[in-house]
Amino acid sequence: MKAILCSQYCGPDELVLSDIPDPVAGDGEVVIAIKAAALNFFDLLMIQGKYQIKPPFPFSPAAEIAGVVESVGAGVTDLKVGDRIAASCGHNGARQKIALPASSCVKIPDNLDFDRAAGVIVIYGTALHALEDRADPKPGETLVVFGAAGGVGLAACELGKVLGLKVIACASSDEKLEFAKKHGADLTINYAKEDLKDALKKVGGEKGIDIVFDPVGGSYAEIGVRSLGWLGRFLVIGFAAGDIPKIPLNLALLKGCDIRGVFWGAHMRREPAAGKAALEKLMKWAAEGKISSHVDSTFPLEKTADALKVLAARKAMGKVILHP
């Protein structure tokens, strides 16, 4: 079978399309013929050795897949050959087939296509875990989303609306903000044109902001924490800006606010039943149209480098999908 391999830390252009043996289903596993593999910004970091998780070489990028069960191993009773499924795989999605534990797979509703199903797992899983499990949201509260037109930011906008929050989308262009408004944002802030501190103060009023969802990091993070009101929650999602910010802890004391980490992958490993239930709910919502799982662009497997460059250039509005 064909696979995109990273055999040493490198950029997208150094990834190699290779022939590798087909996987075999072990006990409790299924082999999946991959129809769609979704890429995320952290795939760029992973192939460069800049991500906190460092798989052994050689590995493939892409942490989420959708496809068809091709074979089942001993002990698998809840899946059969031909089932349409989606799964989180951590890495190794950019290949034609993969063997995964059956327990990590969720069935795809008949009216949900493979591209949109693959795109649900990481960004919507992360956003739902952040908002439902970590943010303790109350209907009517304010939710500020940084990087609102990117994959996880867009998911946070949509899920914020589903949960009854007032969503304030922050992004670097009017085009991105218009896109965020179509996906649930009530208000928008262009932090390339406006002073973010002043804009958040105006939106939050005397009460301040209730929840900040930050997948960007960098210089915006401290501004986000300062915008919080009493008992506000700052959600640490990631660091797409490249810089891990240093937050003055006196802000947490003065505001009685929480700085809460959000690590969907670790949550899935530590609480697999809860993680799987969340994915099943998200697949249902995607099939019902409550969330869009919007696809920005699709690429054949041999064009993986081009797909990763779309993410590197911050051009994607929604998911970037590979077709193995």
Question: Does 151 score more than 90 pLDDT?
Answer: no
Where helices occur in 259-303 by DSSP H, the ranges are 264-270, 272-288
Check whether residue 157 and residue 51 sit in a common domain: no
Q: What is the pLDDT of residue 15?
A: 98
Residues 100 and 133 in one domain: no
Is 168 domain-assigned? yes
Domain limit, last residue, from 215, 246, 264: 264
**Does 127 lie in the same domain as 90?**
no
- What CATH code is carried by the domain that includes residue 97? 3.90.180.10
Output the pLDDT for position 261: 97
Tell whether 276 is covered by a domain: no
pLDDT greater than 90 at residue 11: yes
167 located within any domain: yes
Q: Are residues 97 and 134 in the same domain?
A: no
Does residue 324 have a pLDDT over 90?
Answer: yes
Distance CA(235)–CA(238), nearest Å, equals 9
Same domain, 185 and 309: no
**Domain presence at residue 282:** no
- Residue 243: its pLDDT value, please? 87
Q: Is residue 272 part of a domain?
A: no
- Per-residue pLDDT reduced to its tens digit, 12-62: 999 999 999 999 999 999 999 999 999 998 999 999 999 989 999 999 999
Query: Are both 180 and 71 inside the same structural domain?
Result: no
pLDDT band at residue 149 under the 50/70/90 scheme? confident
Bridge partners of 233, per DSSP, are 211, 258
For all residues of the chain together, what is the average pLDDT? Answer: 96
Q: At what angle do helices 121-128 and 272-288 cross, to 10 degrees?
A: 110
Whole-number pLDDT of residue 207: 97
Confidence (pLDDT) at 170: 97
245 sits in which H/E element: none
Cα-based angle 146, 151, 157 (whole degrees, multiple of 5): 55
Residue 103 shares a structural domain with residue 212:
no
Q: Do 101 and 148 sit in the same domain of this protein?
A: no
For residue 161, tell me if it sits in a domain: yes
Condensed to tens digits (0 to 9), the pLDDT of residues 78-137 reads 999 999 999 999 999 999 999 999 999 999 999 999 999 999 999 999 999 999 999 999
Cβ contacts of residue 236 below 8 Å, gap of 6+?
214, 259, 260, 261, 262
Distance of alpha carbon 237 from its chain centroid, rounded? 9
Q: Do both 91 and 154 map to the same domain?
A: no
96 and 158 assigned to the same domain: no
Per-residue HEC secondary structure of 97-132 comes to EEEEEHHHEEECCCCCCHHHHHCCHHHHHHHHHHHH
Reading the block at residue 158, the tokens are 């949509």
CATH assignment of the domain containing 237? 3.40.50.720
The count of other CB atoms within 10 Å of the CB of residue 281 is 15
Instruction: Answer yes or no: do 20 and 149 share one domain.
Output: no
pTM > 0.95: yes or no: no
Structural domain includes residue 212: yes
Rounded Cα distance, 67 and 89, in Å: 13
In a domain, 108, yes or no: yes
Range of the domain at 307: 2-119+293-323
- State pLDDT tens for residues 199-251: 999 999 999 999 999 999 999 999 999 999 999 999 999 988 888 999 999 99
Domain end, chosen from 215, 244, 264, is at 264
Determine contact, residues 189/199, Cβ cutoff 8 Å.
yes
Q: Over range 301-317, report the average pLDDT.
A: 93
ω before 139 within 30° of 0 (cis)? no
Do residues 213 and 247 share a domain?
A: yes
Of 221, 248, 264, the position where a domain reaches its end is: 264
Among residues 324, 320, 323, 321, the alpha carbon closest in space to that of 311 is found at 320
CA distances from 243 to 221, 226, 234, 246 (A): 10, 18, 17, 9
**Domain total in the chain:** 2
pLDDT digits (tens, 9 = 90+) for 181-198: 999 999 999 999 999 999
Residue 157 in this model has a pLDDT that exceeds 90: yes
pLDDT of residue 52: 86
